[in-house]
Amino acid sequence: MALILHDVTFEMVPTEVRLLTAMTPAGFPSPAQDDMEEPIDLASWLIDHPAASYVMRVSGHSMVGAGVADGDMVVVSRAVEARSGDIVVALVHGDRTMKRLRRRGDRMWLVPEAEGLPAIIVDEDVEIWGVVVALARRYRT
């Protein structure tokens, strides 16, 4: 399956990995278990609407307070309606940015989650490209 977004074609390539059924506590260690489920396709697990979604790499540090770091990959869905509190990808005066959408009455802002950066008032020169619905990060290369 291919996705075309703003004249760029993206190929959807399923990749399966094995899924461990046991939950892994992030606190105290627990006894190891050998329970394995059937393989899981990470793309289908992360992407609910493949025809209306794309994956993009994050550049910059304006969303570190939300746990989104430079170099992370995010899944962006155009099938999800943006609500106040969502992290969105927007086109602002021709430049792409990722910020948290905030609404108060009829006013909307794109708010960074890093100190010292200003919020952007959403006006007619701002287009919401989609809602960030998933994040992927590599710890080792």
Residues designated catalytic:
62, 99
Identify the three-state secondary structure at position 64: helix
Element (H, E) at 76: strand 73-77
Q: Can you give the three-state secondary structure of 79-104, one letter per residue? A: CCCCCCCCEEEEEECCEEEEEEEEEE
Residue 57 pairs in a beta bridge with 73
